[in-house]
């Protein structure tokens, strides 16, 4: 593997060659893989075969890529209903790894990988890191959680295969993270954006510098452009957005290149569609809707038309980086993270965007939903800077009103704003919990 990286087309890293395939070649590759994976799922996964037969479709029904639109969807409940191994398409002797993702309730969902699946996963993670400008010689602190969560091991093997030095520190223990960051000459970090905010804040308070840190690869939860600006300014780094989900592979489904204008999908392994979240109808490129993904090469657990619930749009225009892989817009919200307050639909991402506009706030916030006398209330709790908090009361009141105005402007609802002292809201080592719903079911 070469020791230099050039993001220009033609000057690409050998491992990234599939990123630059001419579209016609890529689509031919996709069709061949799609036909094979549909056949595999039909022959080996009873649930999928039953659904195909109910639609009078057979294993050879796919003649062209758009024919995929006629196939049945797979949803999260299918994984729960067949818990733990009901959707596996490989015998256990060929399954070399299991991961699991805990839902909000009950049993987790279980995902499986063959040796070949792990190789594909590693290869897309190598391409993801390369797209962030990382290469051999980089020292990558991997603060995604190791274990059943896919973030830790997914990023780990990708970074190792890239030829970088990996520090498998996992999540948590902020003091140790900061010591390692400085002492080991770390050049790149992987963690959730909310944990990065926490790390940077602690570093600043303890008077610890961030050494050689130059790049962050952040994902596993939605984060806004405002959050990116905050992280980049506070840490003096370049922040990339990485997307993925356990059901499809884990991290490495999509990544922002150096231009950071949408996430390139590794379309040679994951086939995207955008559908109307209500009707399931396939929408044209450019329209906002729910991302549906089909795995093109996954052996142990092929996913055909998996409804991610993540809302985005496919950006069909070519990217300045020269990759032919199409991009999706950053995922700001899920189709199911909306809540309704007094008849108004609210998304947490709207609240984050409004909060980060106000000077004096810190990107630590929580939305608390309560119900009193049958009426729903929403309170936004946000930390403010120490300087402002110790300021005279007038400053706080003015800020409170300003935030209430900003939230009202984007959400269309006047809500309570609680200004919290620094360090009083809970911190997360992994995915942040933004909404606390205290309403009775």
Q: Interface with ligand DLL by CB under 6 A: which residues?
A: 101, 144, 150-151, 219-222, 241-246, 250-251, 308, 310, 331, 334
CB 16 within 8 A of CB 127: yes
Measured from the CB atom, the residue of 150 and 177 that comes closer to ligand DLL is 150
150 or 174, CB closer to ligand DLL?
150
378: number of Cβ within 10 Å: 21
* 329: number of Cβ within 10 Å: 16
Residue sitting closest to ligand DLL (CB): 219
Least distance CB 355 / ligand DLL (angstroms): 17
Q: Of 52 and 263, which has the nearer Cβ to ligand DLL?
A: 263
74: DSSP letter: B
Distance between CA atoms of 233 and 153, rounded to whole angstroms? Answer: 29
Please state the closest distance from residue 220 (CB atom) to ligand DLL, in A. 4
Using the minimum distance from each CB to ligand DLL, give the nearer residue, 251 or 363.
251
> Which residue lies nearer to ligand DLL by CB, 162 or 331?
331
Where are the alpha helices (H) located in 82-148, listed in sequence order?
A: 115-131
Strand, helix or coil for residue 374:
coil
In angstroms, rounded to a whole number, what is the distance separating the alpha carbons of residues 141 and 407? Answer: 36
Distance of alpha carbon 244 from alpha carbon 308, whole angstroms: 10
What DSSP character marks residue 282?
A: B
Tokens of 244: 């993925």
In the complex, the smallest distance separating the C-beta of residue 162 from ligand DLL, rounded to whole angstroms, is 16
Q: Which whole-number Å values give the CA distances from 278 to 283, 290, 307, 310, 315, in the listed order?
A: 12, 9, 12, 13, 21
Distance CA 335, CA 130 (A): 31
Q: Toward ligand DLL, which CB reaches closer, 178 or 245?
A: 245
Nearer to ligand DLL, 219 or 348 (CB): 219
CB of 381 to ligand DLL, least distance (A): 22
H or E segment and range at residue 273: strand 270-275
Please give the distance of CA 176 from its chain centroid, rounded to a whole number: 25
Minimum separation from the CB atom of position 420 to ligand DLL (A): 25
- Min dist CB 352 to ligand DLL, Å, is 12
DSSP-based three-state secondary structure for 240? strand
CB 236, min distance to ligand DLL, A: 22
């Amino acid at each position: 593997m070469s020791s230099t990286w050039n993001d220009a087309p033609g000057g690409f890293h050998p491992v990234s060659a599939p990123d630059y395939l001419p579209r016609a070649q890529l689509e031919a590759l996709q069709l061949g893989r799609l036909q094979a994976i549909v056949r595999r799922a039909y022959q080996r996964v009873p649930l999928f075969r039953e659904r195909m037969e109910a639609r009078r479709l057979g294993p050879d029904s796919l003649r062209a890529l758009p024919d995929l639109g006629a196939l049945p969807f797979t949803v999260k409940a299918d994984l729960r209903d067949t818990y733990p191994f009901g959707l596996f398409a490989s015998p256990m002797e060929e399954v070399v790894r299991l991961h699991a993702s805990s839902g909000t309730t009950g049993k987790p969902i279980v995902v499986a990988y063959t040796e070949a699946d792990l190789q594909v996963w590693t290869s897309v993670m190598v391409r993801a890191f390369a797209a962030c400008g990382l290469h051999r010689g980089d020292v990558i602190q991997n603060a995604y959680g190791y274990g059943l969560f896919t973030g830790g091991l997914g990023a780990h093997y990708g970074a190792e295969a890239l030829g970088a030095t990996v520090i498998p520190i996992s999540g948590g223990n902020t003091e140790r993270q900061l010591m390692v960051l400085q002492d080991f000459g770390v050049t790149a970090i992987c963690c959730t954006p909310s944990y990065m905010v926490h790390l940077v804040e602690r570093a600043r308070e303890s008077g610890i510098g961030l050494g050689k840190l130059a790049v962050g690869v952040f994902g596993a939860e939605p984060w806004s452009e405002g959050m990116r600006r905050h992280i980049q300014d506070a840490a003096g780094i370049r922040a990339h957005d990485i997307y993925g989900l356990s059901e499809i592979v884990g991290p490495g489904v999509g990544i922002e290149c150096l231009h950071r204008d949408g996430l390139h999908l590794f379309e040679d392994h994951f086939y995207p569609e955008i559908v109307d979240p209500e009707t399931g109808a396939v929408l044209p490129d450019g329209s906002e809707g729910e991302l549906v993904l089909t795995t093109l090469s996954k052996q142990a657990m092929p996913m055909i038309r998996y409804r991610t619930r993540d809302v985005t749009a496919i950006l069909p225009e070519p990217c300045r980086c020269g990759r032919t892989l199409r991009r999706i817009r950053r995922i700001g919200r899920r189709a199911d993270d909306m809540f309704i307050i007094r008849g108004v639909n609210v998304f947490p991402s709207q609240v984050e965007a409004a909060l980060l506009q106000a000077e004096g706030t810190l990107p630590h916030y929580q939305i608390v939903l309560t119900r009193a006398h049958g009426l729903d209330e929403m309170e936004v709790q946000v930390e403010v800077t120490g300087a402002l908090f110790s300021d005279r009361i007038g400053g706080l009141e003015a800020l409170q009103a300003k935030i209430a105005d900003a939230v009202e402007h984007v959400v269309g609802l006047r809500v309570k704003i609680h200004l919290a002292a620094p360090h009083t809201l809970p911190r997360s080592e992994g995915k942040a919990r933004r909404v606390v719903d205290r309403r009775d079911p």
